[in-house]
Chains A and B, each alone.
Chain A
Amino acid sequence: MTSQEQIIDRCQVLFDDLSFTSAREWKAAEEGRKVIGYMPIYVPREIIHAAGMLPLGVLGGGDQLEVIHGDAYYQSYICRIPRSTVELGVTGRLDFVDGMLFPSICDVIRNLSGMWKLMFADTYARYFDVPQNFDDKVGGEFYVNELNDLRADLSKISGRKITDDQIRASIELYNENRKLTQDVYAFRAREPWKVPSSDLYLVMRAGMVLPVEEHNQMLRDYLVAAADSDRPLRDNCRVLLTGGFCEQPPLNLIKSIELAGCYIVDDDFLLVNRFLLKDVPTEGDPVENLAHVFLHDSESTAAKYEPFQAEKGKYLIRAVEKYGAEGVIFAAPSFCDPALLDRPMLQHTLKDAGIPYVAFKYAENSGQMQPIREQAGTFSDSIKLWSEA
């Protein structure tokens, strides 16, 4: 049996590797293989996979990448992830990538799609739009057509037709990946001392670079290994962390929050792994099925319109209940429009429900964790006092 440590060591190597060696090796292993990069927040990886290509999550440069060129492309008041992503591009770290998808998340990533077209004119770059109208006949039809356009583009790049059956087979694999992901999340919520959040993060992050088949096996192994963990239970409070759905916090930030006395029992990192909340049916038209689940059973997040005022922020309350959280930490990247504009509304909803919260900002390259440890520590103490009162 692979131990928890062995799995995490492997994930750490993948995480630290800013040249994406594992994806390069995957590509080199067979003639004609292609890799498609994607940024947060969601792309239908099933279609990329069905084309025989590797979907590769590109999430900026973290705190280890020295950004030399990227800063020349962005003003100081723009978040970090686009500049470190540009850095990855101009330093050749993404030179093996055959296409990049820029999802509809905010105007920074949107504009980056056009920058990519100008800077890397030989690489396919697509702004991947999703509907903000959730009616099957309106937003649904638009989305199905967009997905079919993407399918046609990817088919051209891969040089092979993408059949419905191939998409169905990929859907099955990703359904399994989503289920295993939910299992790991549920496990952590049940016994958070056995699944440190930095571990969970690394295991999920591995899914950004590994083929889904391999990631599924890793998740299975991790669940078995974690059940055997003999880590001690600490007197920590249980918190839900929200706002980190795009630019990633440094791993140290996640560790600091737990060291300060908070078990993270739910978060919104790497949402692509669990954006769709239900299994995508494999009967019928697979593209329509992907669209249908996206419209009716996908994550609520700041990048998505909430059509009903009464529902605004309620997903957080449901998650607090589901995972037994005692408070919410809003951790958003500096200058992040979606997270920061949404935050006051979410806070109002929590306030009305009597759920305590605290808020701070970070950058992917934040080095100083002391203030965050202090805030999280104070928050944890106040939750404990509150629950004793």
Chain B
Amino acid sequence: MSTMTKPKRAPKPRPEAEKDASMLKQKEMMAGHYDRLTSAPENGDKVCATFVPGNLNELIMCFDFVNNLPEQNAIQAGLRKTSGRFVMEAEKMGHSEDVCTYVKSDLGMMARGNLAPNGKPFPDPDVLLLSYTGCFTFMKWFELLREQYGCEAIMLHTPYTGDGVITDNMREYMVKQLKEEVIPKLEAVSGVKFDIDRLREYLRESARAEDDLVAVLQSAKKKPSPIDAYFGGIYYIGPIFGAFRGTKEATEFYRLLRGEIDERVAAGLGPITPDGPMGEEKYRLVTEGPPNYTSFRDFWKMFYEEGAVCVASSYTKVGGTYDFGFRHDPDRPLESLAEYCLNVYTNRSLPQRVDMLANYIEEYEADGLLINSIKSCNSFSAGQLLIMKEVEKRTGKPGAFVETDLVDPRYFSASNVKNRLESYLQMIEQKRSSTQTLGAAA
């Protein structure tokens, strides 16, 4: 593990925090991905754009496409603080102030040169794989991109599991779409013949990385938790939710990461934050909803400064829910791609989401549920107030509700969020002392 001497006073830019080998590797992977993407035209590679929930990376790789994920690009723009300009640009172009800012960041970025984080222009996609999983906005987003790029769009419709079960009808419908629609069209655009054994190989690789990811996320059951499963978790899910699931690189990354976390567990250490190792773990929270990206570090800091660690989160299941046992299965390749899509968090019914969050509170011995409600995102947000009430009722643990946005800085009010969080932590404290008093009186 590399260490750096911390300067006494924080100069600008902020101090580079301690970085584990896995973090450096991840940075390298992401940089390599963007280089591969931006040099696709000169390398003769074709590009397929798709979404994180329902990302069929293994299938995409079978046709030698480079995978471009507009949601991840919007996140990058948020972290780099350019998304605000892009969102406003899109609004000037006629997109409503009411709709998802990921879409507007993407469209605004296109209007302003469409530059990747490496400063080079993104190539136009050759195909849009509209994996319609868990979010209505996806359908319109890719219709909008199709209008701009004039390229082929392929719809893969994932039925919503409204009754909390995956039925044969749903699975068969998806497999049929893959066979009749998605694969033939990907073959036609790429000029590469589909090879199911190649798909199996990738799926086998995926399952290995998935095992390690689950171990990493579940390490948060330990006390203290060696990871922050929300803010830190976002780094952990990056490769597997993006263009790396099914690659050897991903398997190596998760193996390395798991090794590091195991060491932290053995040493009884808490999470690493952007400011170095976190101090004493005082509060354990389960989080629901995506984070804010334009003030990501400030947002996280509000937590770790108070000794609050996120031990489980729903957001880290948005590109695949693996902790209940699902793994990509080389023996049932198309069925398992279908099940993967059907299983993603935002495709789950509200009662399933309540169950999941309430169980997390129990299993991870958390103090309560914190919901970060995102203005952009009806898929996550509609119903969250009821989710909070239900989880509170079932667990007897208090919940808290903060409101921000993903990549629109206009909707991040640091003082509001901080006040909310502080009063919430005080509430937990009070609840603890009253429980202790009751315990003592008993």
Contact = CB atoms under 8 A, between A and B. Distances in A.
Interface string B126-159: 0000101001110111011011001001010101
Interface string A109-120: 011111101110
B147 A348 contact: yes
B344 to A, nearest CB: 14
Contacts, number: 160
B72 interface: no
A96 to B, nearest CB: 23
B76 interface: no
Interface stretch (A125-133, A162-170, A255-263): A125-133
Contacts of A129: 159-160, 162
Given A142-B169, A312-B147, A341-B144, A117 B351 contact: yes
Contact of A336 (B98, B169, B176, B352): B98
Contacts of A306: 143
Contacts of A337: 98-100, 136-137, 140, 378
B137 A145 contact: no
A307 interface: yes
B383 interface: yes
Interface stretch (B3-11, B88-96, B241-249, B320-328): B88-96
A131 B136 contact: no
Contacts of B173: 131, 133, 138-139, 141-142
A315 interface: no
A115 B383 contact: yes
Interface stretch (A5-13, A69-77, A197-205, A271-279): A69-77
A131 B99 CA distance: 24
B373 interface: yes
Contact of A127 (B150, B160, B382): B160
A365 interface: no
Contact of A343 (B96, B130, B351): B96
B403 interface: yes
Contact of A302 (B103, B140, B373): B140
B144 A344 contact: yes
Interface string A57-83: 000000000000000111101100010
B157 A118 contact: no
Contact of B140 (A146, A334, A338): A338
B98 A110 contact: no
A107 B143 contact: no
B94 A347 contact: yes
Residue of A77, A108, A114, A115 with highest tally of chain B CB at under 10 A: A114
A135 interface: yes
Interface residues of B, number: 54
B136 A338 contact: yes
B382 A74 contact: yes
Contacts of B144: 341, 344-345
A106 B350 contact: no
A268 interface: no
A341 B135 CA distance: 13
A214 interface: no
A62 to B, nearest CB: 20
A139 B153 CA distance: 17
B375 A307 contact: no
Contact of B381 (A78, A126, A141): A78
Nearest to A127: B162
A123 to B, nearest CB: 14
A386 B289 CA distance: 49
B96 A107 contact: no
B196 to A, nearest CB: 19
Between B132, B160, B378, the greatest number of chain A beta carbons within 10 A of the residue's beta carbon is seen for B378
Contacts of A104: 160
Given A114-B383, A335-B98, A132 B373 contact: no
B386 interface: yes
Contacts of A126: 162-163
Interface in B144-192: 144, 146-147, 150, 153, 155, 157, 159-160, 162-163, 169-170, 172-173, 176-177, 180-181
A149 interface: yes
A133 B181 contact: yes
Contacts of B96: 340-341, 343
A139 B157 CA distance: 9
Given A307-B155, A341-B99, A132 B139 contact: yes
Contact of B147 (A119, A336, A343, A345): A345
A179 to B, nearest CB: 31
A345 B145 CA distance: 10
A234 interface: no
B378 A78 contact: yes
Contacts of B140: 302, 337-338, 341-342, 345
A117 B382 contact: no
B349 A133 contact: no
Interface of A: 72-75, 77-78, 82, 102, 104, 106-108, 110-115, 117-119, 126-127, 129, 131-133, 135, 137-139, 141-142, 145-146, 149, 302-303, 305-307, 309, 312, 334-338, 340-345, 347-348, 361
Interface of B: 93-96, 98-100, 103, 130, 132, 135-137, 139-141, 143-144, 146-147, 150, 153, 155, 157, 159-160, 162-163, 169-170, 172-173, 176-177, 180-181, 349-354, 373, 375, 378-379, 381-386, 390, 403
22 contacts: A107-B135, A107-B378, A110-B160, A112-B382, A114-B351, A117-B351, A127-B163, A132-B155, A133-B173, A138-B173, A139-B157, A142-B159, A142-B169, A142-B176, A302-B140, A303-B136, A305-B130, A312-B147, A335-B98, A337-B98, A344-B93, A345-B143
Give 9 closest A-B pairs by Cβ, nearest first. Answer: A114-B350, A127-B162, A341-B140, A142-B173, A340-B96, A132-B157, A111-B383, A107-B378, A107-B379
